Amino acid sequence: MIELDPVIHAQARLRVVASLSALPDCDQVAFPRLQEILGMTAGNLSVHLRRLEEAGYVAVTKTHRGRTPVTLIALTRRGRLAFEEYTEAIRALLASADAKETS
C-alpha cells in the first residue's frame, strides 16, 4: 500500500506546499501575499504553517522592512523533497488504480 505523507495530505497544507513549490529554490513569499494567493484567513494559514514548520517543511522568518514587521515563508529542501515524494506517491497510486481498471 502506498503511504501518503499525512502532514502534506491535509488539503490546506497541500495547497500551501504546492504554492511554495512553484517558487524558485530558496525564494520566499510574504505572509500576506501567500494568504491572498490561497484565500485563507490569517489564523487558518498560521495554524497550517506551524504544522509544516514543525515537520521541517517550511521556514518562517520574521524580519523588518524599515520599521514594518514582515513574515517571510519558504519551502525548505526537506519540504521540497517531501512534496516531490508525495506527488510521486499520488502518481503511483493513480497508476495502480488505472492498472486495476484495465485488468
Is residue 72 within 8 Å of residue 31, measured between CB atoms? yes
The predicted pLDDT at position 89 comes to 94
Q: What's the structural domain count of the chain? A: 1
Quote the domain boundaries for residue 10.
6-102
Q: Is residue 1 part of a domain?
A: no
**C-alpha 45 chain-centroid distance:** 11
pLDDT band at 103 (very low <50, low <70, confident <90, very high): low
Q: Is residue 69 part of a domain?
A: yes
Measured distance CA(103)–CA(98) in Å, rounded: 9
pLDDT band at 3 (very low <50, low <70, confident <90, very high): confident
Q: Is residue 24 part of a domain?
A: yes
Measured distance CA(24)–CA(77) in Å, rounded: 11
Task: List, for residues 36-83, the tens digit of each pLDDT value.
Answer: 999 999 999 999 999 999 999 999 999 999 999 999 999 999 999 999
Q: Is residue 15 part of a domain?
A: yes
Measured distance CA(72)–CA(74) in Å, rounded: 7
Q: Is residue 72 part of a domain?
A: yes
- Identify the CATH number of the domain in which residue 91 sits: 1.10.10.10
List C-alpha distances in Å: 93 to 17, 19, 97, 100: 20, 22, 6, 11
pTM for this prediction: 0.90
